[in-house]
Amino acid sequence: MKKDFIAFLQENLRYLGFGESASGTEKLEQEMEKGQKEFQLTTEAHFDEWSKMEATLYFRKSENDQKYFFIRYDASLQYPDNSEHNKLQTFYIHNGAGVTFKEAYNLLEGRAVYKHLTDSDEMKYHAWIQLNFMEIMPNNNYKIRQFREGHGYDLERVLYDYPIKELEDDDLRANLIRSLQKGNLHLVTFAKERKKEKMYIAACPQSKTIVICSTPFLMHHEGKIYR
pTM given for the model:
0.91
146 found inside a domain: no
The whole-number average pLDDT for the span 145-166 is 96
Provide the pLDDT for residue 54.
96
The whole-number average pLDDT for the span 166-195 is 95
First to last CA, the chain: 50
104 and 160 in a common domain: no
**Which residue type occupies 118?**
T
**At which of 80, 108, 136 does a domain end?**
108
CA distance 183 to 127: 13
**At which of 108, 143, 171 does a domain end?**
108
Provide the pLDDT for residue 25.
61
Q: Which residue has the higher pLDDT, 171 or 218?
A: 171
Query: Predicted confidence band at 227 (pLDDT cuts at 50, 70, 90)?
Result: very low
Provide the pLDDT for residue 218.
55
- The 10s digit of each residue's pLDDT in 102-135 is 999 999 999 999 999 988 788 899 999 999 999 9
Give the total number of structural domains in the chain: 2
> What separation in angstroms does the CA of 206 have from each of 87, 89, 106, 180, 203?
21, 21, 16, 14, 9
163 and 89 in a common domain: no
- Residue 213: domain span: 155-225
78 and 16 in a common domain: yes
CA distance 163 to 16: 34
CA distance 202 to 31: 40
175 and 97 in a common domain: no
**At which of 44, 77, 108 does a domain end?**
108
99 and 20 in a common domain: yes
